[in-house]
Amino acid sequence: MNTPWHYQSAREIRDAVRSGAASATAMTEWHLDRIAEVDPLVDAFTQVWRDEALAQAAAVDEKARRGDALGPLAGVPVGLKELLCTRTGTTSCASKILKDFRSPYDGTVVKRMAAADAVFLGKVNMDEFAMGSSTERSTIKVTRNPWNLKCVPGGSSGGSAAAVSAGECAISLGSDTGGSIRQPAAMCGCVGIKPTYGRVSRYGLVAFASSLDQIGPLTRTVEDAALTLNVICGRDPLDSTSADLPAEDFTAALTGDVRGLRIGLPAEYFTDALNTEMREKVEAAVDVFRREGAEIVPVSLPHANYAIAVYYIICTAEASANLARFDGVRYGFRHPAAKSVEEMYVLTKSEGFGPEVKRRIMLGTYVLSSGYYDAYYLKAQKVRRLIKRDFDEAFEKCDVIAGPTSPIPSFEFGTKTDNPLEMYLADIYTISTNLATLPGISIPCGLTASGLPAGLQMMARPFNEAALLRAAHCHEQKSGVRLGEPPVA
Amino acid sequence: MGKITLKDVEYVAGLAQLRLTEDEKNRLVREMDDILAYMDQLNELDTDAVEPMMHAMEMTNVFRQDETGASLPREEALMNAPMHDGEYFLVPRILEGDTA
């Protein structure tokens, strides 16, 4: 074995555990050691479940000893974002208001990953309630980018991306409301998929914006992302918006072949707003597809520039409704000084939520308030329809739309926190995918001169994750782009 | 001078059940004004004939059999409550005066 286990893929670890070449316990111990070694630098993990992980691994090894068939993620070390409900540990959403919250149940994705014999190493950091693009909004700790410890890991699933990038786990689950899987994946050099709205059950995902949220995997290889989708996708009676579709083997899309695939390039995604180096990397990736026989076609998304305005109306409106439940009655923080029910609500929320969460609750409340509903919320819903139509029309000419994931590479801490609008603008390329309910992927497509990863984003028609995986896998196999291990290794 | 005033911020904070410091209020006047001005670019578009996209999936009601399943045991439902008496969630007194 040339590569240490912490840079082996989930598939390689799974195969080793299934064949008996390694035990799940050994894989778990290896990764716990790796966390002990690098997490003091990266700070991706908010909770490490040493005893529970070793018990889960022992159960997998016991299954193997009995000769039982092992699941598709046997012994694979996994990190879970702080907003996924787990009976183990706490589910804090990186917020003071849920600091000690212990979920009485496991979310559906957690159950499915456990049933696939994956091993949970613990929870990973995020922006409070997934509201942020740099993980600087966590109330727990500061997570650093393994490629440059002075820089942010992206967000909101920054802990998920940093942990996978630094080899602390092979797979992490994140959530994506406007780019929160794809953008940190791009900034940390990982693969990240936001599945189609409805692909993955949201039961046990603490809600931010219910018409936009999806759970998805962050991994180091495209194959690992496909393997994880195989496990987490599918109808769940506990989430009525989960789609009732036949189970799909996503690894079947990994042919390495893009001949005949039509890849659309939207002119609106290649403007001056795009950093020159990022543009070069994305164009190089497109050249790989062209060379491998894909058909590159120009497409247009005329309403692309309105996406941020639409997104920050809809997501704040939905958030203001969803977060109203944190009132100090049934769970979470309650302000000790409250003398009346009214005061309990007000003091609890005012003390329990951080500044970005309050800002979004305020914006959401404003756009839903009497007199402004039509001007903002209803208007945004109408433009959301126009954005979706743009994609419907573009997908008549192509199968996949390609472009940058983020207009900029990772940035240094504190450089964007003072201007919320500037931080929001960094989501320009990722949010349309959520508004139009499409699947999207980010894959690494090179390093900038200063050694920071660049991400290529691709989108497809609803429920056509297979096309994304096919193109992504081809790029991974044929481009020659190998980021290698981050300097923190 | 923008469209959001201190009074607006205080009114919305009341609706949102938030108590803000003077600093927070002043900051929010500025930030909400910036952000809402940015959102006003949507007014460039004529959307009179556009049907609003109210749902992520255009689905009708999802029905299931009305069968009783297992539900969360009471002690687990209460285990995160800041105050409870073993049966109910407890909150500060709602009605004024002594209860007879």
- pLDDT tens-digit series, residues B14-52: 999 999 999 999 999 999 999 999 999 999 999 999 999
- A-chain CB neighbours of B94 within 8 Å are 340-341
pTM confidence score? 0.96
Expressed in angstroms, the distance from the first to the final Cα of chain B is 56
CA distance A333 to A331: 7
Mean predicted confidence (pLDDT) in A178-190: 98
pLDDT over 70 at A51, yes or no: yes
With cut-offs at 50, 70 and 90, classify the pLDDT of residue A484: confident
pLDDT over 50 at A377, yes or no: yes
Mean predicted confidence (pLDDT) in A270-295: 94
pLDDT at B100: 42
Where b means 16+ CB within 10 Å and e means fewer, A229-261 reads bbbbbbebeebbbbbeeeebebbebbeeebeeb
- A-chain CB neighbours of B82 within 8 Å are 328-329, 332-334
With cut-offs at 50, 70 and 90, classify the pLDDT of residue A2: low
- Rounded to a whole number of angstroms, the distance from the CA of A428 to the nearest CA of chain B is 13
3-state secondary structure of A46: strand
**B28 and A366 in contact by Cβ < 8 A?**
no
Q: Indicate whether B25 belongs to any domain.
A: yes
> CB–CB of A195/A213 below 8 Å?
no
- B-chain CB neighbours of A332 within 8 Å are 80, 82
Supply angle C-alpha B66, B67, B69, rounded to 5: 135
**B17 and A437 in contact by Cβ < 8 A?**
no
Q: Indicate whether B63 belongs to any domain.
A: no
pLDDT at A489: 67
Amino acid at position A283, single letter: E
- Is A180 annotated as catalytic? yes
- Which tokens hold the place of A459? 């989108």
Q: Indicate whether B56 belongs to any domain.
A: no
A357-368 confidence digits (pLDDT tens):
999 999 999 999
Residue that is written with structure tokens 């996994």 in the block = A78
Q: Indicate whether B36 belongs to any domain.
A: yes
**A198 and B42 in contact by Cβ < 8 A?**
no
**A365 and B93 in contact by Cβ < 8 A?**
no
> What does pLDDT average to over chain A?
96
pLDDT over 80 at B99, yes or no: no
- Nearest by CB: B16 against A312, A361, A376: A361
With cut-offs at 50, 70 and 90, classify the pLDDT of residue A462: very high
B59-92 confidence digits (pLDDT tens):
778 788 899 988 999 999 999 999 999 999 999 9
- B-chain CB neighbours of A360 within 8 Å are none
Mean predicted confidence (pLDDT) in A86-107: 98
pLDDT over 60 at A334, yes or no: yes
What domains, with CATH codes, occur in chain A? 5-268+274-301+392-478 (3.90.1300.10)
Element (H, E) at A191: strand A191-194
- Is A478 annotated as catalytic? no
Mean predicted confidence (pLDDT) in A426-454: 96
- Is A81 annotated as catalytic? yes
Q: Which of A49-63, A126-140, A289-303, A407-421 has the lowest mean pLDDT?
A: A407-421
Kindly give, in sequence order, each residue whose CB lies less than 8 Å from that of residue A36, ignoring residues fewer than 6 positions away.
none
Which contacts of B4-11 are long-range, i.e. CB under 8 A and separated by 24 or more positions?
B4/B29, B4/B32, B4/B33, B4/B36, B5/B29, B8/A366, B8/B32, B9/A362
Q: Indicate whether B79 belongs to any domain.
A: no
Q: Indicate whether B34 belongs to any domain.
A: yes
CA distance A320 to A10: 38
- A-chain CB neighbours of B69 within 8 Å are none
The CATH number linked to B17 is 1.10.20
- A-chain CB neighbours of B32 within 8 Å are 359, 362-363, 366
Separation in Å, CA B53 to CA A111, A310, A315, B57:
32, 11, 14, 9
pLDDT at A86: 98
**B59 and A241 in contact by Cβ < 8 A?**
yes
3-state secondary structure of A475: helix
- Nearest by CB: A421 against B28, B34, B83: B34
Give Cα A328 distance to the centre of its chain: 29
Mean predicted confidence (pLDDT) in A417-428: 84
CA distance A166 to A169: 8
Single out the catalytic residue among A103, A138, A156, A165.
A156
pLDDT at B97: 63
Evaluate the CA torsion angle B80, A79, A45, A211 in order and state its sign.
Answer: negative
Q: Indicate whether B10 belongs to any domain.
A: yes
Selected residue with higher pLDDT from B17 and A489: B17
pLDDT over 90 at B2, yes or no: no
What count of CB pairs under 8 Å joins A to B? 148
- Rounded to a whole number of angstroms, the distance from the CA of B93 to the nearest CA of chain A is 6
**A437 and B42 in contact by Cβ < 8 A?**
no
Kindly give, in sequence order, each residue whose CB lies less than 8 Å from that of residue A165, ignoring residues fewer than 6 positions away.
A145, A146, A147, A153, A188, A189, A190, A220, A486
- A-chain CB neighbours of B92 within 8 Å are 338-341, 343-344
pLDDT at B64: 83
Mean predicted confidence (pLDDT) in A257-261: 97
Mean predicted confidence (pLDDT) in A306-335: 97
Single out the catalytic residue among A180, A201, A320, A479.
A180
Nearest to A149 by CA among A46, A276, A38: A38
**A361 and B18 in contact by Cβ < 8 A?**
yes
pLDDT at A373: 94
Kindly give, in sequence order, each residue whose CB lies less than 8 Å from that of residue B60, ignoring residues fewer than 6 positions away.
none
In B, minimum Cα distance to A361 occurs at B16
In A, minimum Cα distance to B65 occurs at A237
Give Cα B16 distance to the centre of its chain: 7
pLDDT over 80 at A243, yes or no: yes
Separation in Å, CA A385 to CA A90, A306, B26, B57:
38, 12, 35, 12
- Which tokens hold the place of A295? 């058909």
Q: Indicate whether B59 belongs to any domain.
A: no
pLDDT over 80 at A1, yes or no: no
CA distance A489 to B7: 53
> CB–CB of A314/A211 below 8 Å?
yes
A22-45 confidence digits (pLDDT tens):
999 999 999 999 999 999 999 999
What is the span of the domain harbouring residue B22?
6-44
pLDDT over 80 at A436, yes or no: yes
- Rounded to a whole number of angstroms, the distance from the CA of B70 to the nearest CA of chain A is 13
With cut-offs at 50, 70 and 90, classify the pLDDT of residue A423: confident
Q: How many domains does chain B have?
A: 1
**A362 and B13 in contact by Cβ < 8 A?**
yes
Selected residue with higher pLDDT from A306 and B96: A306
**B43 and A379 in contact by Cβ < 8 A?**
yes
- Rounded to a whole number of angstroms, the distance from the CA of B57 to the nearest CA of chain A is 7
